[in-house]
């Protein structure tokens, strides 16, 4: 019986993906950026973001010296913004601690923010041909099915078993091609639903296929019902401008520009305290629901018209009046962008 790796490599030579943007002019930097973007995001979604990002930040040095707003605005819409902040911090650390060169040892790579064992292995394997096992979501699915490894991969016992098999299957020759091949197999054939088992190069000894239990692997995460949170966001509008605040670094949408949220205060108190002004009109809009992986958020937007923004907004780093016709000042979360676009439309109607 041909080894798992041999069959996979033969398949990869004919059917593997070789024309992805980060597979052209391969550098460790390009591979690293792509691996971070591909965490929890599909290839097709990533491609345009990747192209824009590396055009603006072509190397570690340009990323390290860029303002965080610039980095986040090139990530806007891709979600999981901690990835962008970690990428930026890691670039600065490489710049300062590693003479601007991406480290070549797996320990040093894991030491960088936002990089775990699998991502580190993938980067060094794809960029430098080093032999490291990887275990991203696609690979977990392939191995769990092939070896019938039961249970949710988030459990230590299950993860340890998957790592053992991943190590065992990773060949000493063509490690880089194997790494790409096993990811491609999961992404293109061994998909979550309706896998193409008849075209799979390792189907002959796939335990899940043999026992007709493909759908049982990998084990599902125990279902918890998603909590629902609510918040009120204020669209304070004056002179074709909207008031924005930068969110704190920690927590959701960290470092992004956002509409302010109304806490315990009354709306009129908030207007006087924050804007030093009184509202001439307030109008609640329909609730907007935004789903995160761990909870749903219901946003109640309230449009607040202010006579003029002559109020006391001094700290330009954290609070600004933003012209609706200008480009965003930095990264913005999807629901915030939606609300601002809605405001643009309603303002045009009001003024013309």
Q: Are residues 94 and 156 in the same domain?
A: yes
Domain boundary among 216, 240, 270: 216
CATH of the domain at 269: 3.90.79.10
Considering the entire predicted model, what is its pTM? 0.84
Those residues whose C-beta lies under 8 Å from the C-beta of residue 9, and which sit 6 or more positions away, are 171, 174, 177, 178, 181
Catalytic residue among 35, 147, 161, 347: 35
Can you tell me the distance from the alpha carbon of 132 to that of 179, in angstroms, rounded to the nearest whole number?
8
Average pLDDT in the chain: 93
Can you tell me the distance from the alpha carbon of 166 to that of 170, in angstroms, rounded to the nearest whole number?
6
Q: Are residues 272 and 310 in the same domain?
A: yes
Annotated active-site residue 147? The verdict is no
Q: Are residues 148 and 292 in the same domain?
A: no
pLDDT of residue 309: 65
Lowest model confidence (mean pLDDT) among 317-321, 323-327, 345-349? 345-349
Q: Are residues 178 and 245 in the same domain?
A: no
Q: Are residues 208 and 311 in the same domain?
A: no
pLDDT of residue 161: 98
Q: Are residues 205 and 234 in the same domain?
A: no
Does 201 reside within a domain? yes
Q: Are residues 243 and 313 in the same domain?
A: yes
Does 223 reside within a domain? no
Q: Are residues 122 and 182 in the same domain?
A: yes
Domain boundary among 216, 240, 260: 216
CATH of the domain at 131: 1.10.340.30
Does 222 reside within a domain? no
Domain residues for the domain of 71 are 4-216
Does 318 reside within a domain? yes
Per-residue pLDDT of 6-19, as tens digits, reads: 999 999 999 999 99
Give the confidence band of 314 by pLDDT, cuts at 50, 70, 90: low
Can you tell me the distance from the alpha carbon of 341 to that of 143, in angstroms, rounded to the nearest whole number?
45
Nearest CA-CA partner of 234 in 114, 340, 109:
340
Question: Is the pLDDT assigned to residue 349 strictly greater than 50?
Answer: no
Does 330 reside within a domain? yes
Does 13 reside within a domain? yes
Does 268 reside within a domain? yes
Q: Are residues 263 and 139 in the same domain?
A: no
- Contact indicator for 247, 231 with CB cutoff of 8 Å: no
Domain boundary among 148, 181, 216: 216
Number of domains in the chain: 2
Does 221 reside within a domain? no
Q: Are residues 296 and 195 in the same domain?
A: no
Q: Are residues 33 and 177 in the same domain?
A: yes
Lowest model confidence (mean pLDDT) among 82-96, 109-123, 246-260? 246-260
Q: Are residues 207 and 248 in the same domain?
A: no
Can you tell me the distance from the alpha carbon of 296 to that of 228, in angstroms, rounded to the nearest whole number?
5
Nearest CA-CA partner of 301 in 342, 269, 330, 268:
342
Per-residue pLDDT of 75-103, as tens digits, reads: 999 999 999 999 999 999 999 999 999 99
């Amino acid at each position: 019986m041909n080894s798992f790796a041999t069959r996979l490599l033969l398949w990869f030579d004919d059917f593997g993906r070789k024309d992805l943007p980060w597979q052209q002019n391969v550098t460790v930097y390009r591979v690293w950026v792509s691996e971070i973007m591909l965490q929890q995001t599909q290839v097709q979604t990533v491609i345009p973001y990747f192209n824009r990002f590396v055009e603006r930040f072509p190397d570690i040095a340009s990323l390290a010296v860029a303002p965080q707003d610039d980095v986040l605005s090139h990530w806007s819409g891709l979600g999981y913004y901690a990835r962008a902040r970690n990428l930026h911090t890691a670039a600065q650390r490489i710049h300062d601690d590693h003479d601007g060169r991406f480290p070549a040892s797996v320990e040093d790579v894991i030491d960088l923010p936002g990089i775990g064992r699998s991502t580190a292995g993938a980067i060094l394997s794809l960029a430098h041909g080093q032999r490291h096992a990887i275990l991203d979501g696609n690979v977990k699915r392939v191995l769990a099915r092939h070896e019938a490894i039961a249970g949710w991969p988030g459990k230590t016992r299950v993860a340890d078993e998957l790592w053992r098999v991943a190590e065992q299957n990773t060949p000493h020759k063509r490690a880089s091609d194997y790494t790409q091949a096993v990811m491609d197999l999961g992404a293109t054939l061994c998909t979550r639903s309706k896998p193409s088992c008849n075209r799979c190069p390792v189907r002959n000894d796939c335990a899940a296929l043999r026992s007709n239990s493909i759908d049982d692997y990998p084990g599902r995460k125990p279902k918890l019902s998603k909590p629902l949170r609510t918040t009120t966001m204020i669209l304070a509008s004056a002179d074709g401008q909207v008031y924005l605040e930068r969110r704190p670094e920690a927590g959701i949408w960290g470092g992004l520009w956002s509409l302010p949220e109304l806490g315990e205060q009354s709306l009129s108190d908030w207007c006087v305290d924050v804007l030093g002004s009184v509202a001439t009109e307030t109008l609640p809009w329909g609730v907007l629901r935004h789903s995160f992986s761990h909870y749903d958020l219901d946003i109640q937007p309230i449009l607040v018209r202010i006579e003029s923004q002559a109020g006391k907004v001094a700290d330009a780093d954290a609070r600004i009046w933003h012209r609706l016709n200008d480009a965003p000042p930095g990264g913005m979360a999807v629901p915030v962008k939606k609300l601002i676009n809605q405001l643009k439309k309603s303002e045009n109607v009001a003024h013309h």
